[in-house]
Amino acid sequence: MLEELKREVCWANKQLPRLGLVSWTSGNVCGRDPESGLVVVKPSGVLFDEMQPQDMPVVDLDGNVVEGTYKVSVDAPTALYILKHLPQVHAVIHTHSPYASSFAALGRSIPVVLTEHGDAFGIPIPCGGYAKIGGTEVGQEAVRVLKQVNLQCPAVLMQNHGVFAVGVHPRGALKAAVVVEDVARTVHLATVKGDPIPIPPEEAQRLHDVYHSKYGQKPGGGFE
Ligand SMILES: [Zn+2]
């Protein structure tokens, strides 16, 4: 079942180590089929290189396994919580990408000091509070912050933890996760040299609006 979505989710998972967003088997991507509401998730502890589309477990929004023999990613409950409470979102990525996570370790959002950031999100990349792992707390905090910014920034840092990025498709969520890490790295380097110069909020918003209407083959800036 859901062969195409399994291929797409498997592909997106394999991009995580290639793009330097994860180490070993950490990090994951999942995607929801909008029609059935079923979700393709990452199998737990499987090496990205060895992952095959047919290995990807299919679960419902309550985490019941509908298809697959592999154990489901331990992060699946958080992703399912996010999908359940953000119906416009169909893909969730979680990483501990190092530069973005270093801001998370400080509990700091990332200010808009680069046009790349303004283009992509137009607002600071927000940082949520500390949330206990293992229950619904991480999902709750991620959803609270993503709703607060109306999903204009489709990614949130979680204090002392890492990054959650969302999209309509795994590819769009992946782009958000990549841009977050790219921006975090450059802002880090700038901060080592001095005080980065903020882009005024109205200019950051203008950059965002232009990018999302002009960049790419269709509106959305590639984050859909
Ligand atoms: Zn994590």
Q: Are 221 and 120 in contact (CB under 8 A)?
A: yes
Is domain 3-109+125-167 annotated with CATH 3.40.640.10?
Answer: no
C-alpha 71 – ligand 1 centre gap (Å): 17
- pTM given for the model: 0.96
What are the distances in angstroms from CA 59 to CA 37, 50, 66, 206? 9, 21, 5, 40
C-alpha 116 – ligand 1 centre gap (Å): 26
Q: Is 218 helix (H, G, I), strand (E, B) or coil?
A: coil
Q: What letter does residue 111 receive in the DSSP assignment?
A: -
C-alpha 67 – ligand 1 centre gap (Å): 25
The pLDDT-based confidence of 168 (bands split at 50, 70, 90) is very high
What is the per-residue pLDDT across 14-45, written as a single tens digit (0 to 9) for each?
Answer: 999 999 999 888 999 999 999 999 999 999 98
Task: Please compute the mean of the pLDDT values over residues 180-203 and round it to a whole number.
Answer: 98
- Give the Cβ contact number of residue 224 at 10 Å: 18
E strand segments, 137-222:
155-158, 162-167
Q: How many CA atoms lie within 13 A of 7 on its CB side?
A: 4
Confidence check: pLDDT of 219 > 80: no
C-alpha 95 – ligand 1 centre gap (Å): 6
C-alpha 93 – ligand 1 centre gap (Å): 10
User: How is the chain split into domains, by residue range?
Assistant: 3-109+125-167
C-alpha 7 – ligand 1 centre gap (Å): 23
Strand partners, 67: 58
Report the distance separating Cα 145 and Cα 156, nearest Å: 7
C-alpha 162 – ligand 1 centre gap (Å): 6
C-alpha 205 – ligand 1 centre gap (Å): 30
Nearest to 204 by CA among 189, 183, 190, 218: 183
What are the distances in angstroms from CA 173 to CA 3, 97, 155? 20, 14, 8
What is the per-residue pLDDT across 108-129, written as a single tens digit (0 to 9) for each?
Answer: 999 999 999 999 999 999 999 9
What is the per-residue pLDDT across 59-94, written as a single tens digit (0 to 9) for each?
Answer: 999 999 999 999 999 999 999 999 999 999 999 999
